[in-house]
Structure 1
Amino acid sequence: MTASREKEALARVLVHEGGYVNHPADPGGPTNKGVTQRIYDAYRKGKGLATRSVKGITSLEVFDIYDRQYWDAVKADQLPAGVDYVVFDGAVNSGPGQSIKWLQGALGPLYKGSIDGVMGVGTLAAVSAVNNYDALIDRICDQRLNFLRHLRTWNTFGRGWGARVEEVRSIGKAWATGETPQAAGFIDGGLAKAFVEDAKAAPATAPGDAATGAGAGGLGLSGYLYDLQNQLSPFSYTSEWIGKVIVVVAIASALLAIGGLGWRWYANRKAKHLAEALGTAAVAP
């Protein structure tokens, strides 16, 4: 990978990131040219400089931050043309670790390690074994979109994110196939940060557990009533009335227990899919 690739990739990322923004729904907070105030404060402190508003960030500081905290963090110089840009753009938007997870998941059986967001020897070896980088870029972008759809902020920024990912896909695939990529365009809403901390909550299993427990308790009660019915069988009217109550309680309890088990299955299934989309659980390569 050459230094010129980084500059070309950064030029397109900066178009997507735009200038200063502070959208109330953007978890990144005050951001300028894709650099959040938090990142800028840490950068300035690391240099022994006083913190200041990210509005005052210089072009040299922008390049230095992108070079060290994103390009180098994903080891883009060791990635193939196109893949480097796609992983780099994802790192800027959602953090290096998250973008690396999308790459690892997209590598499929070529990657033998865990989806841990670390660009190690195993990940790089798997990338070098890929024979179709065009298709790899498609899979990375698909994983990124799946992640974004599982964020609470999707309803606000989803259209912008979706358009950004599709443009990143197109540019990356052009580079991967040796074509001249299109110029990037600014996409309203596409610059909002997309962090795993803003994921949708998984459905709770507690309601299902409560329903199952109540159903089991009801079935126990119907058994008690059945014994009572047998004891009162000489009194036909009372016995008949209890019999009807037993049927109602048993049916209601069975439905409650089945519903509780069904909800628990649904909640666990949704939680598993959510964890896979977010990269918060081990996903089999």
Structure 2
Amino acid sequence: MRLNSCEWHERLGHTCDKTVISFLKQNVPLFDHKSWQPFYCGTCAVAKSTHRLARARTKIPKESPLYLQVSDVMGPFATNPQGFHYLVTVRDHASTYSVVYPLKALSDSPEAILDAIKQFQVRLQLAPKALWMDNAWEFTSSLAKLGVSFYPSLPSSPQENGEAKRLNRMLGDMAQSMILESWMPDHFWRFAYASACFLHNQLPNSQCPKSSPHEHLFGHPPSMGTEAIVHVPAVRQPHKLAPRGIACCLLKTLMTGGWLLWEPKREKMIHSAIPIIGRPQNWQFKGVSVSYCQ
């Protein structure tokens, strides 16, 4: 009685084809390996099922800035004085420009992501076309109102959102290194991640080898180092003839509006809504403290 390929496979304990063919060559003189026919074994498909990596969905447009945003949540972290436990990152795929938001609860992530999308829309007059993250069906209607399509990762396939997870790991490595080097308490993680994200946006990477994520997305290099004249409030003017403006060093623009600047005279960082932007200067930095100015 001659057996077909599937029957030999079953007789030999559902072992792999290569092993069956090798056995037949050694023990069945009349076996012709050319007669071996591929087959499908339903029993093996069920009994030997393993998790397979999902293939990336290439139909999503992602080659131009703001076409595709990826997002992921990190945490929980040690509780900080402001009550934050988590972070959510939003990254533009084409430019790799990223933003990070602290969260007090996981339920705050949809609001933070929507805020990031609205900030991109305000600054660039263009809303992202697609958002990819692990699971956030609860705010798909809010995304639809902004014209943003939602693409969730498939169940049990977090690797589909690997870009966002790689960003989180990179920012985490930078933040942890800065905290360890500075001997700061762990509850300052929020500021360490914010600093890491800011530096990432100013530095070149494999997708922006000759520029930076900031320049790729906004079309111009960061304004760090530019002179900016900031108005001095009346309460800080020592007398009527005192200058009503002070020269500061522009550090960065803020997603929430305004600019972050360095005031060398008082050696403080300040926020200003409408400074007068000048041209790049050479600055001397001796120390850093934080202050806020309207």
Shared fold (TM-score greater than 0.5)?
no
Higher relative CO (CA 8 A, sep ≥ 6), structure 1 or 2? 1
Q: Which has the higher strand share?
A: 2
Relative to the length of structure 2, the TM-score reads 0.27
